């Protein structure tokens, strides 16, 4: 159970996330939708503490995440893997090493830390990484440089990296915004698969309402940092969308596409 209580983040005068409160039971696949600047990305970054909150707190199974420091914070980040819009792989390293980076949070002690700095991962970890790659049909690319892969492949490599963390939670920040429809579908299906098979809770930011309705078991809509809708996918009707955002669903998606297009072009 992930609990977000009155979470607020200000950037100067701008309130990116405004007193958001949510309770996410384990195993849920939660879609967060909203227009650009609604605070979706900041919300996810607050959960794994890549950003610090101005007020409010985050609890996971009763433990206060917003207070963690040092080793405990790194262990929390290990337990809630993050998927990024731009994949955030190390482009110059091979795919296998990129996936193995998911194990960093599991190493303990000076000896292991030094071995890792020289690029040494155990045979068991390598086998795990290859199994993860195999699961998503990427094992042939294991020794290629990550930068040579297509966007869709890179995002699935990022999911493999996330799985090697053996996380309780996956935070996916616009995972398909830079991908074509075919690859978007593959990535969403990969997320659904890990949600259903491993029971990992997934929080996914989306701007495509149909995708959210199709894959998520619950949808939260944000507007100007606030939660303006929280319910089942079926309850988010076109009429509801128009009332929340003041524009039709078609306009909403056209706007999202226009925003994603430059990113997709940059990736090509």
Partner 1 sequence: MSEAHPATLLAGLPRIGEYFHRILPTLRWEALFAGSETEGSLAFWFYRLDAWAWLLFETANMAALATLMGAAAALLLAFPAAHNLGAGTLAYQLSRRSLEAARTVPEIVFALILVWAFGVGALAGILAIALHTAGALGKLFAEAIENTEMGAWDGVRATGGNWAEACRFAILPQALPNLLSYALLRFEVNLRSASVIGFVGAGGIGEELYKVISFNYYEEISAIILLVILAVAAIDLFSENLRHRVIGALGGAA
Instruction: Give residues in contact with partner 1 (CB under 8 A).
Output: 48, 50, 74-79, 81-82, 84, 86-93, 97, 101-102, 104-106, 113, 116-117, 145, 147-148, 158, 161-162, 165
* Residue 13 DSSP code: T
Q: Measured from the CB atom, is 108 or 196 closer to partner 1?
A: 108
Q: How far is the CB of 238 from partner 1 (least distance, A)?
A: 35
CA–CA distance, 159 with 211 (Å, rounded to integer): 18
Q: Measured from the CB atom, is 78 or 208 closer to partner 1?
A: 78
Q: Measured from the CB atom, is 35 or 74 closer to partner 1?
A: 74
> What is the DSSP secondary-structure string of 65-113?
GGG--HHHHHHHHHHEEEE-TT----TTSBHHHHHHGGGGGG--HHHHH
Q: How far is the CB of 91 from partner 1 (least distance, A)?
A: 5
Q: How far is the CB of 93 from partner 1 (least distance, A)?
A: 5
Q: Measured from the CB atom, is 102 or 175 closer to partner 1?
A: 102
Q: Measured from the CB atom, is 140 or 239 closer to partner 1?
A: 140
CA–CA distance, 164 with 160 (Å, rounded to integer): 6
Q: Measured from the CB atom, is 121 or 245 closer to partner 1?
A: 121
Q: Which residues neighbour 195 within 8 Å (Cβ) at sequence distance 6 or greater?
A: 27, 29, 170, 201, 202
Cα distances from 57 to residues 3, 23, 67, 221, in angstroms, run: 8, 12, 8, 20
Reference 160, options 184, 182, 139, 144; nearest CA is 139
Q: Measured from the CB atom, is 191 or 219 closer to partner 1?
A: 191
Q: At 228, which helix (H) or strand (E)?
A: strand 226-231
Q: How far is the CB of 189 from partner 1 (least distance, A)?
A: 22
Q: How far is the CB of 159 from partner 1 (least distance, A)?
A: 12
Cβ(4)–Cβ(32) under 8 Å? no
Q: How far is the CB of 126 from partner 1 (least distance, A)?
A: 16
Q: How far is the CB of 121 from partner 1 (least distance, A)?
A: 11
Cα distances from 181 to residues 208, 217, 225, in angstroms, run: 11, 21, 28
Tokens 């090509």 label which residue? 268
Q: Which residues neighbour 201 within 8 Å (Cβ) at sequence distance 6 or greater?
A: 2, 24, 25, 26, 27, 28, 29, 30, 168, 169, 170, 195
Q: Three-class SS of residue 149? A: coil
């Amino acid at each position: 159970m992930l609990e977000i209580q009155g979470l607020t983040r200000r950037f100067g005068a701008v309130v990116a996330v405004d007193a958001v409160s949510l309770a996410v039971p384990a195993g849920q696949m939660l879609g967060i939708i909203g227009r650009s600047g609604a605070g979706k990305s900041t919300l996810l970054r607050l959960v794994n503490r890549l950003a610090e909150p101005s007020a409010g707190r985050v609890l996971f199974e009763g433990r206060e995440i917003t207070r963690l420091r040092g080793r405990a914070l790194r262990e929390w980040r290990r337990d809630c893997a993050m998927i990024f819009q731009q994949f955030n792989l190390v482009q110059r390293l091979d795919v296998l090493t990129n996936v193995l980076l998911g194990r960093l949070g599991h190493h303990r002690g000076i000896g292991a830390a030094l071995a890792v700095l020289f690029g040494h991962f155990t045979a068991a970890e390598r086998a795990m990484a290859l199994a993860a790659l195999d699961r998503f049909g990427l094992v042939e690319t294991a020794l290629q440089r990550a930068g040579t892969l297509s966007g869709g492949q890179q995002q699935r490599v990022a999911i493999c990296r996330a799985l090697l963390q053996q996380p309780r939670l996956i935070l996916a920040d616009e995972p398909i915004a830079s991908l074509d429809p075919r690859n978007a579908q593959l990535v969403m299906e990969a997320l659904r698969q890990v949600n259903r098979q491993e029971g990992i809770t997934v929080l996914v930011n989306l701007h495509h309402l149909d995708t959210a309705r199709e894959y998520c078991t619950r949808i939260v809509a944000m507007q100007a940092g606030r939660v303006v809708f929280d319910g089942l996918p079926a309850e988010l009707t076109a009429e509801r969308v128009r009332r929340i955002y003041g524009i039709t669903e078609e306009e909403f998606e056209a706007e999202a596409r226009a925003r994603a297009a430059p990113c997709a072009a940059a990736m090509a």
